[in-house]
Structure 1
Amino acid sequence: MIRFHKEGYKIIVITFIIAIAFVLLADNFVNIFWVQKSIQVLAIFFVIIVLQFFRNPKRLTVLDENTIIAPVDGKVVVIEEVEEPEYFKDKRLQVSIFMSPINVHVTRYAMSGIIKYSKYHPGKYLVAWHPKASTENERTTVVIENKSIGEVLYRQIAGALAKRIVNYAHIDDKVIQGTDAGFIKFGSRVDLYLPLGTSIKVNLGDKVKGGVQVIAKK
């Protein structure tokens, strides 16, 4: 059975109402057959797009305090050592995953632990792969700590189409690897900042599956 994320319930209902209205209006007021059917097909197609965007497939996470799993579905677009300026203010390994509009957009906790930091930043809506998106776009920054790995930072970043980031992490929350951490509406990316020396288990260009795929180990 297909599940949908709670962040999409309202949009899904509104989309159905609009689509039904367009189908009925076209049926009653458009006399040109191909125009009528085109409007109806587009309305149905729009519903399908919205439904697939808000799908929330169940993922079976194998809990392991020594691993970091992909927080989202998407493509690995960055693996490099960088300076993290907001929280650590030192060198970290950055792994970035880009989500296209057709990917599942649920954000999941990459590891179990305690939330040490959670902050929302308003900002721009540059395309998600832009080099300055990590520091200039609307974003949330969250840091999780556990005894095995230490502190790991993840950043939800809005893209050109994403107009709302939902973040469920609150300071001092105890969170479980693979569970729901939030949602990014309509395309974006997530950056992970890992301790130096972490063993990366993915390569640039790999397509990863959120909640199940190991992307790094201590």
Structure 2
Amino acid sequence: MRSATLHLTYNVIRQMNIGPITKCPLRLRKADSRITGADLGNNRKPLTREEVIEAACGCFEKFSVSKTSIKDVAAALGVTRQTVHRLFESRSALIEAVADVRIGVLAKRLQSEFKRFMDIEEALVEGSLLSLELGGSDPVMVEIQDQADHAVDQFMFRGSANVQLAMIELWGPVFVQARSQGRLRPGISTDQAVEWIRNVHAMLIMRDDYDQARKAFMLRTFLVPAIVRD
């Protein structure tokens, strides 16, 4: 079944109750690197990666990504630059960590909407457009994607274990249903399919000359045949 392409706008996203991120969200992890009181010297409270990411996100929203330095993040936390660098070896690594968290949160917000897709082709086209549109409504993510930083560019394609897991949680039910219907090409695992979807999304994000119709055409013409059985 091929349904009409959704021409998603910011207003449509708001109506779906999955509005863009307006404050820095954190997906807390059980195993997290910490700087102890001894490492902080006069700073008694242990500093976590989450606290640094939250401070960085706040600085990005206040100053912009391009104008935020490690010094700004350290000042927001009341610690030294060296303390921040003990948790994040570079500014690029910190930007990647912020993107990692925000992508995970966006994926969580999309899960309820993905439940309505009854067909794998519909999900691959309309679900992809929805994902791209929601990501494009997050000003911090948009600016991160626009950074002239090779390491960050590579992260947008490569992702991380957390990003891959978040995408599997989002797309997994779609593939389970499609597999039970015999709709998936043989020999393709969910992990492989999700990795390819992420690569295609990263490419489409970079093509700011593509409108929704062109994106839908590329998804239907090249993504769908790569995953769906003829």
TM-score by length of 1: 0.32
Of Structure 1 and Structure 2, which has the larger fraction of its residues in helix? 2
TM-score by length of 2: 0.30
